[in-house]
Amino acid sequence: MRYAMVIDTLKCVGCSDCVVACQTENDVPHGYCRDWITETVDGSYPNLDLELKSERCNHCDNAPCVRCCPTGASHIVDGGIVLVTENECIGCGACIESCPYDARYQHPDGYVDKCTFCHHRLEKGQLPACVSVCPTKCMYFGDLDNPNSEVSQLLKNRKHKTLAPEAGTNPHVFYLI
Amino acid sequence: MTTSRRKFIKISALGIGGVAATASAINVFGANSYLDDLVKQKVSKEFKRTATYCEVCFWKCAAWAYTNEEGEIKKIIGNEDDTHCEGRLCPRGTGGVGMYTDEDRLKTPLIRTTVNGEETFRKASWEEALDLIASKFKTVIDSHGAESIALIKHGAPGAHLEHLFQAFGSDTIAEPAYAQCRGPRETGFKSTFGTWVGSPEPTDIRDTKCLVLIGSHIGENMHNSQVQEMSDAIDNGATIITVDPRLSTAASKSKHWLAIKPATDIALMLSWMNVLIEEGLYDKAYVEKYGLGFDELKEHVKQFTPEWAYGITTIKPDEIRKTARVMAHAAPSVIIHPGRHVVWYGDDTQRARAMAILNGLLGSWGRRGGFYFKESIKVPKFPHPEYHHPKWGWKEIGAKYPLAEMGITSEVLRAAIPSEDNKYPVKALMVAGTNITKSIPDRKLLEEAIEALDFMVVIDTMPMDVTGYADVVLPECTYLERYDGIRSATNRHPSIAVRIPAVTPKYDSKPVWWMAKQIGERLGVGEYFNYNDFKEVIEWQLKEMGTSLEEMEKIGVKNYPRKSGPLYLNENENYQFTTASGKIEFYSHELKNLGFDPMPVYTSHPEPPQGFYRLNYGRAPMHTFSRTANNPNLNDLMDENKLWVNPKVARILNLKSGQEVWLRNQDDITSTFSIKVRVTERVRWDSVYMVHGFGHQNKKLSRANGKGINDTQLISKIAVDPIMGGTGMRGNFVTILTENPHKNTEI
């Protein structure tokens, strides 16, 4: 089992529904977010490219946040999901600094928080909140170890990229381009 | 404490994860079994869900509101059986919970009073506020007639108030959704196909091969099923053509983005017609069978070559030809989308006509991948005595505009200003569910009208700017706290949805059906409100429709099979369109007889003078006009609008992204607040752009107050559509001020 998220930038309209769905699902306090939208514009008027995409923790195989965590609060569980155990986190912020995706933030209650791939929903057989709500259905989630899964098939058949590949983190959020 | 309980839930998930960790060495402390047990108990408890339909915008997606044991609304999820959302709400629907939790909500009725010479509001009881409204209304009825009480409304509460007004004898009713939004397209399409486009638009986007968007920015407007279907169309390999001076989100998804010079769309469409006809690409059989006036059209557009259009639109002739051929190749699975907010330059009905004519030439009306024949189911009217017949109403007020089919808000306001030739004096005004300081342009007219009124009531959930003008403010509870009318959807097949309160109203807020009944009883028309709870009305209606409230509570949405026949025309079907001629009217005798152009013509519109930029405005996906700006969830996503400026302009004016500027328009109106610059290639050098609905003046909106600029404030030059009274708003020009013009004045 290796969970991965695949996001189709050709369909994403950057509406931020994923962001607000995550907030209501995970009680993310106002003013913070576990996922967010980025916009990249290339070229000059009127020869332009615009890319909108939803970003979050990349649930890396080689996760710098896990390596640098002094208490082991940051850890990897089955399926490759990177999690933080709140009551073990001392809020030192080393993981925040080490993440090349800026995916972590300090929760007002002191611990460090980030995307969990909605681990609690997966256990109930549900998709992550962001994926389940996306109006453009541009987000896909599944098991990369299964070659027939939707995510495996999309990555097999479509051109894609990951973010900051140079960081060598082996991220598991993929973008179709 | 609820917060710690919520945290426990999170810990539970994480703790369980810890147990399952493959490399348990990573987790030094291991899982906390005590916490695990606590959390498992919590996780196993399900939220209660209540059927509703969304009121954050007009799309009215059916949804489930989830409440926890404390009765707090935790999340709102789309109803999977609903054709408006297919189980997926947009950000505003998902964030609808913020409408309920917003601590800045109107909490009690308010009555205007004077303290030490200063006007202010004081809290009032419902009894007192309703008595005052009834007595003021009675005074107007006795002295001028019920017709002199006007209603400007929007959304679900509007229906209850419309009923109240018609019960006491006023038909002086209007809503910005018509003359400030989609009115021209309804008139333009009706004069061509005999029918309004209506909402949701019956565009068969999911099955189209070519979607043409003219200034319509699906994806930034989150008209949910339209956005979903556009995404499906992208999956299916459809070609999108977008005509827009700005690189909209939709433009960025398009194979062809025609970066048109603003205000020249009709010229482009005339040249498309020229190509389709001159190259013989139009649907000849369809036009022959269903069209009227094709020969006149052919003669008319002969002169409008792509070369002619190039000089006007700045779109190259080969691009015009190429895109026309792409459309023809896809036809009849092609959609020239009618758009939604189409009040731009005053010739908007004619622009909508041009769109309709193009659809006619391509044979897309009534065709798969074009426009389908929509169907809805009628909700039976709860029995009540017959309505009165007012001596005048919105029709008479707007008579100057012969094809106006709904009240024109700006004309209703004008009717409040006393003058000798004003035969239809409006003396009292009720505003509900619309913030008219931002939804209706021309602030001078608005303020003059309000000043002249004897009495004004505002009903809203939030202290929007318009409440500041009211004599009485009534706090409405949100859609999550009330029963409302049954939503009957017009779609590929009929469906209904119900709105059931998930929680009891917060503060001292009340549903509008209750307010309407209370006012009605006080005005002596209680017999029109023959129920104690609106629930009884729905129960009766649902029973009449072969279902029950009990069933609807469980399913939220009920879908009905089509009864009106197929979605599309059958081959060679002898179909009668609902125009006067029964045909698709390329040439409109109706318009001709009324003294208007029978076929669209291009007229040039004023251009910004030196140092000024055209003020364009639009939507952001996470906001509905001004009503969501203070919503804590949605404000989190976007808390202010920005002024999009082309880098060339930024260089000339020495502007940097993030810099604070003020705007002044051609009529010397200066923005109250400042706006931050966003230097971006996505806009042309002759225009600036901002998202509509910001710059709130009411300090009670703690998050939205003073954030960004209210575009409507700067829209003082109105190009009125002579056919239906739409208020064209895209002809305003602004200059950018880098120094605070209000430095020495208090706002």
| Out of B15-29, B245-259, B339-353, B505-519, least confident range | B15-29
- Identify the burial level of B194 via C-beta atoms within 10 angstroms of its C-beta, where 0-12 means exposed, 13-18 middle and 19 or more buried: middle
Q: Which of B252, B619, B684 to mutate to test the interface with A (most CBs of A within 10 A)?
A: B252
Using one digit for the tens of pLDDT, what is the confidence trace for B551-575? 999 999 999 999 999 999 999 999 9
Q: How big is the A-B interface in CB pairs under 8 Å?
A: 186
Q: Which of B1, B8, B26, B631 to mutate to test the interface with A (most CBs of A within 10 A)?
A: B26
Q: Which pTM was predicted?
A: 0.93
- DSSP 3-state of B440: coil
CA distance B48 to chain A (A): 15
Chunk chain A into consecutive blocks of 10 residues (it has 177) and report each block's average pLDDT, rounded to whole numbers.
Answer: 97 98 96 96 97 98 96 96 96 96 96 97 95 98 96 97 96 97
Q: For residue B44, is it left (φ>0), alpha (ψ between -120 and 50) or beta? A: alpha
Beta carbons of A20 and B91 less than 8 Å apart: yes
pLDDT of B289 higher than 60: yes
- d(C-alpha B735, C-alpha B329), whole Å: 44
Chain B residue with the nearest C-alpha to that of A122: B13
pLDDT of B670 higher than 90: yes
- Identify the burial level of B680 via C-beta atoms within 10 angstroms of its C-beta, where 0-12 means exposed, 13-18 middle and 19 or more buried: buried
- d(C-alpha B629, C-alpha B465), whole Å: 12
Q: Does B18 touch chain A (CB under 8 A)?
A: yes
Q: Does B198 touch chain A (CB under 8 A)?
A: no
Q: Which of A11, A52, A78 sits opposite B22 (nearest CB)?
A: A78
Per-residue pLDDT band for B78 (boundaries 50, 70, 90) equals very high
Chain B residue with the nearest C-alpha to that of A113: B10
Per-residue pLDDT band for B45 (boundaries 50, 70, 90) equals low
Per-residue pLDDT band for B747 (boundaries 50, 70, 90) equals low
Per-residue pLDDT band for B744 (boundaries 50, 70, 90) equals confident
- d(C-alpha B66, C-alpha B230), whole Å: 29
pLDDT of amino acid B347: 98
Residues B184-200: what's their mean pLDDT? 97
CA distance A25 to chain B (A): 7
pLDDT of B29 higher than 60: no
**Percent of chain B topping pLDDT 70:** 94
pLDDT of B28 higher than 90: no
Q: Which of B27, B250, B636 sits opposite A75 (nearest CB)?
A: B27
Mean model confidence pLDDT for chain B: 93
- d(C-alpha B446, C-alpha B529), whole Å: 33
Question: Which tokens is B427 given?
Answer: 């003396």
Distances (CA, A) of A168 to A68, B26, B354: 15, 20, 55
Per-residue pLDDT band for B634 (boundaries 50, 70, 90) equals very high
Q: Which of A27, A44, A45 sits opposite B6 (nearest CB)?
A: A27
Residues B149-156: what's their mean pLDDT? 96
pLDDT of amino acid B46: 77
Where do the DSSP E strands lie in A45-158? 47-55, 74-77, 81-84, 105-106, 112-113, 139-143
Q: Does B309 touch chain A (CB under 8 A)?
A: no
Q: Locate tokens 């003008």: which residue?
A: B469
Residues of chain A positioned with their CB less than 8 A from the CB of B685: 45
**Percent of chain B topping pLDDT 90:** 91
Per-residue pLDDT band for B40 (boundaries 50, 70, 90) equals very low
Chain A residue with the nearest C-alpha to that of B219: A13
Q: Which of A13, A83, A119 sits opposite B621 (nearest CB)?
A: A13
CA distance B455 to chain A (A): 39
